[in-house]
Chains A and B, each alone.
Chain A
Amino acid sequence: MSKKKSPAPKKENAKQSPKDKPAEKPKRPPRPPRTKMPEQPPDIRIKNFVEVPYGLTPEEAQLEAARCIQCKRPKCVEGCPVSVQIPEFIALIKDGHFAEAASKIKETNVLPAVCGRVCPQETQCEETCILGRRGEPVAIGYLERFCADYERLGGHIKLPKKKRPNDKKVAIVGSGPAGLTVAGDLSLLGYKLTIFEAFHKGGGVLVYGIPEFRLPKEIVETEINYLERLGVEIKYNHVIGMCKSINELLTKDGFDAVFIGVGAGLPRFLNIPGENLNGVYSANEYLTRSNLMKAYLYPTYNTPIMKGRKVTVVGGGNVAMDCARTALRLGSDKVMLVYRRAREQMPARAEEVHHAAEEGIDFRLLSNPVEIIGDDTGVVKRIKCQKYQLGEPDDSGRRRPLPIEGEYFELETDLVIIAIGNNANPLIKATTPDIETNKWGNIIVDEFGRTNKNFVYAAGDIVTGGATVISAMGGGRKAATGIHRDLMGIKDEDVQD
C-alpha cells in the first residue's frame, strides 16, 4: 500500500510547481542537464568482457524523459532511419509506462535493445533534437535502451497481434539486422518466413562482429527468440549460393520472394608486403574468433586466438575500436591504433573513440602502414608506417590524407589487425549471375529494395557497402514494404505516402 501511495504526492508536487511559477515569471525553469550514463570504470572494464554502460535506473530514465519538450513536429523522428515514434515513447517513459514505451518503439523498430546500444544517435535522432541547439539533446539512445531492457529483463515481452496468415512464403538470406527487420515486419503481416543463416548462430554482425562488452549476446538471442515465437523459421548452417541458389529458392522450394541481406562480408586488406605473416588478422577474423567462437573463453571454448603483447589495429571506424578494445580485454600490454587521418575524421562514433581513449588505446594518427615485417618463422615483429598530413577536402567532405614523402617510422608489434572495411561477398553474385551489381559488387536496388530480378530484394551492407546496423534495418523495412506490395499486388503509385 505504502508503495502505491508514495508516488502520488510527488506527482502533485510536480504539477503544482510549474503552476506556481508562471504567476511571477513566464520563463521556464532551467532544464536539468542530460543524464549521464553510469559506466564501468576504465581500469576495471579493460579486464572483463562485461558491458561497459550499466543502463539507466527507472528514476534516471523518467528524469531524462521529462527533459523532452514533446515537439509538435519532432525533428528527431526525421533523423531516425526507421522513424521510431520518439516523442510518444518518451512520454510513456515519463509517465512510468515502461513496457508500453517498449511496445511503441517496436511498432517501427524490431531491435530496440540493440539500437539503443549501437546506433549512432549523435548523428541521427539526437543530432536533430531541438534541445541540442542550445544545450544537450535528450538522451534518446539511453531511453530506448532503458525501456527495451526493462521489457526484456522484466519478462514483459508480449507478442504483438499478427494479421491472419496469408499463403505467401518469403525466404530471407542472412539473419543480420536487415534480415531480422524484414522477418519482424513481414511476420506481423501474416507471411510465412524462413531465414537461412550461414553460421550456427543468428544475428549476423550482431553476434560475430560487435563484442560482448558493447552488445551482450544474450540480447541478440532474445531478439531471435522473439522472432521464432512469432513463427519465423531459422535454418542455420545454410550458405545460400552454395547449398541452394536464389533461383532454386524461388522455383524448387516454392518461395514467393527472396530477400538478400548477407552483409558485406569480404574483408579488405592493405595489399602491402607482410600481410600474410602469422599474427596478421582481418578485423572480421579477429572479432569472429573472439565473439562468435568465444575465443576469449579459450580453452573452455576450443577456438584459439593470438593475443599479442603489443597490438596494432589499422583503421578508424567502430570496428577498429572494437578490435582495439577487445585486444586490451584479452590481456595485451599495449594497443596502438594506426589511422591515416586525424581523430576528428574518424568514422567511429564519438562515444566509441572516447571509450577507447579512456581505456588507454594509443592513437597513432596521420599515419598509414606500408609494410609489415616478420621474423624467420613468419611471425610479425614490426610494422612500418608512413606519416600523413591533411590536404583539401575530398568527396566525403573530410580533408584528404596525403603521405609525407620520406617520413617513416616503425612500431614494435606482434599482432596486427586490419580494420579498413569490407568488400561485397562474391557468393551470391557467383551463383546468381543475372543479379545486377555495381562495380564494387554491391547489389543494385530501387527505393523499395527491389533488385533487377523479379521477387528478389536486397538491403543492408550488400547494397550500401559497410554501414550501420540501423541503416541496414532502414533498408530492410523498405524492402519489406516492397515485398508486401508486390506479393499483394499493390502498385507503388497507388500508395500515398
Chain B
Amino acid sequence: MHQIIRKQEMAKGTIVRFDVRAPEIAKKAKPGQFVIVRLTETGERIPLTIADKDSFEGYITLIFQVVGKTTAIMRTLNEGDAIKDLVGPLGKPADIQKVGTVIMVGGGTGVAILHHIAKAFKEAGNTVISIIGAREKDLLILENEMRIISDELVITTDDGSYGQLGFVTEPLQRYLDERYDIKEVYAIGPIPMMKFVCRLTKKYNVPTMVSLNPIMIDGTGMCGGCRVTVGNETKFCCVDGPDFNGHEVDFDELTKRNSMYLKEEKDALLFSIRG
C-alpha cells in the first residue's frame, strides 16, 4: 500500500497531482520513467509517468488527467488514502546530455512529464527554451515550475485566453526559423500535438524525442500490448521506450490502438455509476 501524502487539483479539477509514498521507487526513478498503478483488488493496471520524486522524503509525484474509470476513481482519493499497487520505476530513462540549446514542448498533462525531463536538461547545463500550451488559461499547469527551470518560456492557449493565441507549433516554428543552434526538441503531450511538432522539426532536421503512453498491462515486456511502430519496426513501449525518436513514430497507428477500449471504458464508467 502506498499512501497519498499530498493531493492537489489542477486545471479545474481535470488534472490531479498526488505525492505518493514510495521510497524504493523514489530512490531509483529517473526522468522519463513510469510506474504501473492498480488501485484496488478489482482494478486494472494503468501506466503513469513519474512527474517528480523526492528520494529524501521517499515519495514520487504522479500527475494525471481524468480520462477513464481508473483515473476517475483515483481523483476521488484523498490525502491519507492509499494506492494498492505501485510498480516501478519502469521503462528507459530519458537520454539527457549536454547538447547546447534544447526546446521543450509540452501540451496539456504532458507538461507534467516534460517538467521532470526539462529540469534534468537544465541541470545537465543546457539552455532550455520551453513552449507549453493548453486549450485555455485555466487548463494550463506547472507554469511557475516551468518558468524556474527555463531560460525562455512561451505560453500558448488555443482560445487566446492566456499567452499567445494558437498552438505550440507556431512559436516552435519561429524559434526554428530564427535560431540555428537548436540541437534537440522534446515534445510531450496529446498525440496530435506530438505528431505536428515532429512533422515540423523534421523539415528543419532537428532531432526530436517524444514520450508515448500506449495501453499497457505488465510494463515489463511480457504482454506486448503496448507495441508501437517506430522506424517501421515494432517496439514495446514499456521496455524499449517510453521515449522514442519522434520522426520515426507511427502516430496514426498509436491513435487507433489507444482507442481500442473506448466502448468498454464508457461502459465501465456507467457501470461504476449505476452499479
Give chain B interface residues in 33-81, CB to chain A under 8 Å.
Answer: 38, 42-45, 69-70
Closest to A200 in B: B85
Task: Identify which of B24, B217, B224, B236 contacts A243 (C-beta below 8 A).
Answer: B24
Asked whether A377 is an interface residue with its Cβ less than 8 Å from the other chain, the reply is yes
Q: How far, in angstroms, from A269 to B221 measured CA to CA in the complex?
A: 13
Contact with B along A171-210 (1 / 0, CB 8 A): 0000000000000000000000000001110000000100
> Is there an interface contact between B217 and A278, defined as CB atoms closer than 8 Å?
no
Number of interface residues of A (CB under 8 A): 40
Contact with B along A192-236 (1 / 0, CB 8 A): 000000111000000010000000000000000000000000001
Q: A300-B42, A426-B239 are in contact. Are A269 and B90 (CB under 8 A)?
A: no
Stretch with Cβ within 8 A of B (4 or more), from A8-16, A285-293, A363-371: A285-293
> Is there an interface contact between B225 and A285, defined as CB atoms closer than 8 Å?
yes
Asked whether B122 is an interface residue with its Cβ less than 8 Å from the other chain, the reply is no
> Is there an interface contact between A378 and B257, defined as CB atoms closer than 8 Å?
yes
Task: Identify which of B90, B228, B257, B264 contacts A304 (C-beta below 8 A).
Answer: B264
> Is there an interface contact between B88 and A243, defined as CB atoms closer than 8 Å?
yes
Closest to B259 in A: A278
> Is there an interface contact between A306 and B260, defined as CB atoms closer than 8 Å?
yes
> Is there an interface contact between B89 and A426, defined as CB atoms closer than 8 Å?
no
Chain A residues whose CB sits within 8 angstroms of the CB of B239 once the complex forms = 426-427
> Is there an interface contact between A304 and B42, defined as CB atoms closer than 8 Å?
no
Asked whether B256 is an interface residue with its Cβ less than 8 Å from the other chain, the reply is yes
* Cβ distance A7 to chain B, nearest Cβ, rounded Å: 45
Asked whether A242 is an interface residue with its Cβ less than 8 Å from the other chain, the reply is yes
Chain A residues whose CB sits within 8 angstroms of the CB of B28 once the complex forms = 242-244
Chain A residues whose CB sits within 8 angstroms of the CB of B267 once the complex forms = 299
> Is there an interface contact between B45 and A278, defined as CB atoms closer than 8 Å?
no
> Is there an interface contact between B217 and A425, defined as CB atoms closer than 8 Å?
no
Q: How far, in angstroms, from A319 to B46 measured CA to CA in the complex?
A: 25
> Is there an interface contact between A266 and B221, defined as CB atoms closer than 8 Å?
yes
> Is there an interface contact between B89 and A278, defined as CB atoms closer than 8 Å?
no
Chain A residues whose CB sits within 8 angstroms of the CB of B90 once the complex forms = 239, 242
Asked whether A302 is an interface residue with its Cβ less than 8 Å from the other chain, the reply is yes
Contact with B along A33-51 (1 / 0, CB 8 A): 0000000000000000000
> Is there an interface contact between B70 and A302, defined as CB atoms closer than 8 Å?
yes
Contact with A along B208-240 (1 / 0, CB 8 A): 000000000111111111011100001010010
Asked whether B172 is an interface residue with its Cβ less than 8 Å from the other chain, the reply is no
> Is there an interface contact between B265 and A304, defined as CB atoms closer than 8 Å?
yes
Main secondary structure of the interface of B (DSSP, over half): mixed
Closest to A265 in B: B222
Q: A199-B218, A200-B85, A243-B25 are in contact. Are A302 and B268 (CB under 8 A)?
A: yes
> Is there an interface contact between B234 and A302, defined as CB atoms closer than 8 Å?
no
Asked whether B271 is an interface residue with its Cβ less than 8 Å from the other chain, the reply is yes
Asked whether B180 is an interface residue with its Cβ less than 8 Å from the other chain, the reply is no
> Is there an interface contact between A377 and B224, defined as CB atoms closer than 8 Å?
no
Q: A242-B90, A243-B24, A426-B239 are in contact. Are A303 and B44 (CB under 8 A)?
A: yes
Give chain B interface residues in 227-275, CB to chain A under 8 Å.
Answer: 227-229, 234, 236, 239, 253, 256-257, 259-261, 264-265, 267-268, 271-272
Task: Identify which of B69, B89, B227 contacts A302 (C-beta below 8 A).
Answer: B69
Asked whether B86 is an interface residue with its Cβ less than 8 Å from the other chain, the reply is yes
> Is there an interface contact between A266 and B42, defined as CB atoms closer than 8 Å?
no
Task: Identify which of B70, B86, B223 contacts A284 (C-beta below 8 A).
Answer: B223
> Is there an interface contact between B257 and A276, defined as CB atoms closer than 8 Å?
yes
Number of interface residues of B (CB under 8 A): 44
Q: A288-B223, A300-B42 are in contact. Are A377 and B256 (CB under 8 A)?
A: yes
Chain B residues whose CB sits within 8 angstroms of the CB of A289 once the complex forms = 217
Closest to A282 in B: B224
Q: How far, in angstroms, from A149 to B272 measured CA to CA in the complex?
A: 38
Closest to B250 in A: A276
Chain A residues whose CB sits within 8 angstroms of the CB of B272 once the complex forms = 299
Chain B residues whose CB sits within 8 angstroms of the CB of A317 once the complex forms = none
Closest to B252 in A: A378
> Is there an interface contact between A267 and B222, defined as CB atoms closer than 8 Å?
yes
> Is there an interface contact between B221 and A425, defined as CB atoms closer than 8 Å?
yes
Task: Identify which of A237, A271, A285, A427 contacts B217 (C-beta below 8 A).
Answer: A285
Chain B residues whose CB sits within 8 angstroms of the CB of A426 once the complex forms = 221, 239
Asked whether A414 is an interface residue with its Cβ less than 8 Å from the other chain, the reply is no
Closest to A289 in B: B217
* Cβ distance B241 to chain A, nearest Cβ, rounded Å: 13
Closest to A374 in B: B256
Asked whether B153 is an interface residue with its Cβ less than 8 Å from the other chain, the reply is no
Q: How far, in angstroms, from A304 to B43 measured CA to CA in the complex?
A: 11
Q: How far, in angstroms, from A288 to B225 measured CA to CA in the complex?
A: 11
Chain A residues whose CB sits within 8 angstroms of the CB of B154 once the complex forms = none
> Is there an interface contact between A285 and B223, defined as CB atoms closer than 8 Å?
yes
Asked whether A409 is an interface residue with its Cβ less than 8 Å from the other chain, the reply is no
Asked whether A440 is an interface residue with its Cβ less than 8 Å from the other chain, the reply is no
Task: Identify which of A239, A298, A303, A377 contacts B220 (C-beta below 8 A).
Answer: A239
Asked whether A352 is an interface residue with its Cβ less than 8 Å from the other chain, the reply is no
> Is there an interface contact between B221 and A275, defined as CB atoms closer than 8 Å?
no
* Cβ distance B25 to chain A, nearest Cβ, rounded Å: 7
Q: How far, in angstroms, from A304 to B42 measured CA to CA in the complex?
A: 12
Q: A243-B28, A293-B44 are in contact. Are A269 and B268 (CB under 8 A)?
A: no
Chain A residues whose CB sits within 8 angstroms of the CB of B221 once the complex forms = 265-266, 425-427
Chain A residues whose CB sits within 8 angstroms of the CB of B225 once the complex forms = 281-282, 285
Asked whether B87 is an interface residue with its Cβ less than 8 Å from the other chain, the reply is yes
* Cβ distance B62 to chain A, nearest Cβ, rounded Å: 15
Task: Identify which of B220, B227, B234, B260 contacts A265 (C-beta below 8 A).
Answer: B220
> Is there an interface contact between B257 and A302, defined as CB atoms closer than 8 Å?
no
Known: A239-B219, A278-B256, A288-B217. 14 other contacts (CB 8 A): A200-B38, A239-B220, A242-B89, A243-B28, A244-B28, A265-B220, A267-B224, A285-B224, A293-B45, A299-B267, A302-B69, A304-B261, A304-B264, A306-B260
Residue pairs across A and B with Cβ atoms less than 8 A apart, 19 shown, are A198-B218, A198-B220, A237-B87, A243-B28, A244-B28, A265-B221, A266-B236, A267-B222, A275-B234, A278-B259, A282-B223, A293-B45, A294-B42, A299-B272, A304-B44, A306-B260, A377-B256, A427-B221, A427-B239
Q: Which residues of A are in contact with B by a Cβ distance under 8 Å? A: 198-200, 208, 236-239, 242-244, 265-267, 269, 271, 275-276, 278, 281-282, 284-285, 288-289, 293-294, 298-304, 306, 377-378, 425-427
Q: 6 tightest A-B contacts by CB?
A: A378-B256, A304-B264, A285-B223, A282-B224, A303-B44, A302-B44
